[in-house]
Amino acid sequence: MPTHNDIKTTAYLEPILNYAEAHLGSRLKPTGKYLYRAFCPFHADTKDSFRLYVDGNDVVRFHCFGACGGDWDIYDVIMLKEKCSFRQAQQIWADYLGLKDVIFHRGQSQSIPEPDAETEPDNVVAFLEPVEPTEQIKATLAEAATFYNKLLLSDPEKHFKVLTYLARRGVERPIIERFQIGYSPAYIDEDHRGRALINGFLDRFDEDYLTFSHFQDACLVRLLNDEGARGYGYYRQQIDFTTRSPFTRSYGDYFAGRIVFPIHNMKGEVVGIIGRRPDNRGVRWLKQQAGESAITTKSWLYGIDKAYRYIKHYRTVILVEGIFDYFAFYRLLQDQGRPVVVSTLGSYLSAEAMGIFKQLGVEHFIVAYDWDEAGRKGIEKIAAEVGGTVFYLGGMQPGQDPAEKLKDVIGSISGFSLRHLMASAKKHQSATDKSIHMSFISCGPADKREMIFSPAENEPFVWHPEEASAKEFYYDVDDFLPLLSYDHGNKAMLDQTISEITRLMEERPTEPRSDRFFKIPANFLRIEGYTDLGPALILWLRLVIEQQAKKRKVRQTDAVFAEWLGTTRKTILVYKRQLQELGYLNIDTSTRPQRLSVRYFTNP
């Protein structure tokens, strides 16, 4: 009785060829003994990068040398095509061969996740920081922003829930039109199937593949068969073999299922897009993930195109953390035609964004970040870098949103003068020589409500002398090695391990405690760079130890890393890509095995 392995060997080469051509729509041309090539059915292929070959175990396999980068056997291909389980794929193949008695494997595919094993990912997507977008990319982003904006406003009944959600957050039609806010329908949408943008430009893609490549570079579409992508198990189920077009078959809109907010620079050019779920499920915001050269996000300031003239005039800016915080303040300003508020899209103010404010001559920063731990860190960082004055807005409680804080006091500040506000703040600043908290007294009659200033209660952050002078911190290898593993029973245990690693790093020893130690630059700890890495911190630290021990780049295969860290090659690939995208790892694949070198700071 044959096994599942027996029926995928060269003895079944002809039916494997027949199946691939009939069900994948690929015409495989022979190029040698047991070698065939075709255009890949799983991405928009222009270089016939799909191969059929026989490996050293006499197994017939498929490989894509293009965008997919995948390597599959016949069962993997059937799982991709039919969106079925590994067990079902074995049965489909046996039925195709007309075999009734086959010993099936009870495990899972090593390459393809089981269907429904992954839902749409809620992870925050990492992003690269390459060069300034080209004129072509900015033009493509502008086209996409216009398309999504028109789509949202063209059918208010269909998009009622989205428009209602925006209105509830204070964003109504006039603001939607002015800020070109749009919507990208989800994969479950029967009309668009997560491909509204692709279908809208499909004629142009068919005429000129280069146009489609611009949309790829602008990170407006995603390859659904990208095995290294987060949420691959979900996205590969969205591949649509009912269509012959490679664009609608193998790709989806990057922001499918999200409200889209175009990001403009001071010239008013669209330089990026950020997406938000129209619900409160999971991690809600999605930033673009660039390819090799298209998108940069460090200089993003939401609303700067509307505000920069008046920021320059008043030499003052109000900084908020989120987009909806931005609209809360924007709607409260006395003159919306002269806004001085921008969102930094997070509690971190980058050097590029600070450079913009210096260029505009800003002297006064009114900081209205969410008053949580992340916001506090952002404020302390600004206070350390700004040569002017920083004012803290409101007496925020931990976790309280500024929009919520201001909801009940709209009437008391709807006519405030920015000049008077700054004059009052300056007077108290010189008297106290401390940062200022601004609070609102909103009880009593409207004409008795007041705006008051008081010295800030929190003390500025102070480094210990030994830390201030330290250039490196020294850590014991034997303390860390037992913790550097992904072999955990569940996510809670993994989180506990990362917490323990973080605790050890925070000890910041200034001298070696044993002969077996590794070093980390002090500034990496001071800027808390490790907080960007998440579980990838485990792989990063192991590479740090190996690189410093050998005093050269690390040359090993992913299989070796997987063995070291008690995980799979796929997990290593995901975390390698994350580290590379964040700028903490250089990967050289020009040699075999690959060469990896750790970075301690991201590119400016």
Higher pLDDT, 316 or 126: 316
pLDDT tens sequence across 59-92: 999 988 887 878 889 998 888 888 788 888 899 8
With beta carbons less than 8 A apart as the criterion, state whether 273 and 288 touch: yes
- Give yes or no for residue 471 having a pLDDT over 90: no
pLDDT band for position 150 (50/70/90)? very high
Query: Which regions of 187-257 does DSSP assign to beta strands (E)?
Result: 221-223, 251-253
- Give yes or no for residue 598 having a pLDDT over 60: yes
pLDDT tens sequence across 356-405: 887 887 777 777 765 456 555 655 666 566 666 667 664 344 445 544 55
Q: Which residues contact 206 (CB under 8 A, 6 or more apart)?
A: 245, 247
Q: What is the pLDDT of residue 113?
A: 72
Q: What is the pLDDT of residue 539?
A: 94
- Give yes or no for residue 586 having a pLDDT over 60: yes
Distance between CA 468 and CA 423 in Å, rounded? 36
Q: Does domain 304-455 sit in CATH 3.40.1360.10?
A: yes
Q: What fold does the segment set 6-97 form as a domain?
A: DNA Primase; Chain A (3.90.580)
Q: What is the pLDDT of residue 283?
A: 55
Query: Which regions of 405-561 does DSSP assign to beta strands (E)?
Result: 436-441, 450-455, 472-476, 517-521, 554-555
With beta carbons less than 8 A apart as the criterion, state whether 251 and 195 touch: yes
Distance between CA 485 and CA 348 in Å, rounded? 30
With beta carbons less than 8 A apart as the criterion, state whether 228 and 574 touch: yes
pLDDT tens sequence across 453-469: 334 343 333 333 444 45
Q: Does domain 135-287 sit in CATH 3.90.980.10?
A: yes
Which region among 179-183, 359-363, 544-548, 549-553 has the lowest average model confidence (pLDDT)?
359-363
Q: Which residues contact 488 (CB under 8 A, 6 or more apart)?
A: 494, 497
Distance between CA 462 and CA 257 in Å, rounded? 45
Q: What is the mean pLDDT of residues 534-542?
A: 91
Domain limits of the chain?
6-97, 135-287, 304-455, 465-598
pLDDT tens sequence across 238-268: 888 777 787 888 888 999 889 999 999 888 8
- Give yes or no for residue 545 having a pLDDT over 60: yes
Burial of 591 (0-12, 13-18, 19+ CB in 10 A): exposed
- Give yes or no for residue 127 having a pLDDT over 80: no
pLDDT tens sequence across 27-55: 889 988 889 988 888 887 778 888 999 98
Q: What is the pLDDT of residue 412?
A: 33
Distance between CA 276 and CA 105 in Å, rounded? 42
Q: Please give the span between the terminal C-alpha atoms of the chain, in angstroms, as a whole number.
A: 62
Give me the amino acid identity at 225: N
Beta strands 316-320 and 364-368, pairing class = parallel
Give me the amino acid identity at 546: E
Global pTM reads: 0.53
What residues form DSSP beta bridges with 61? 53
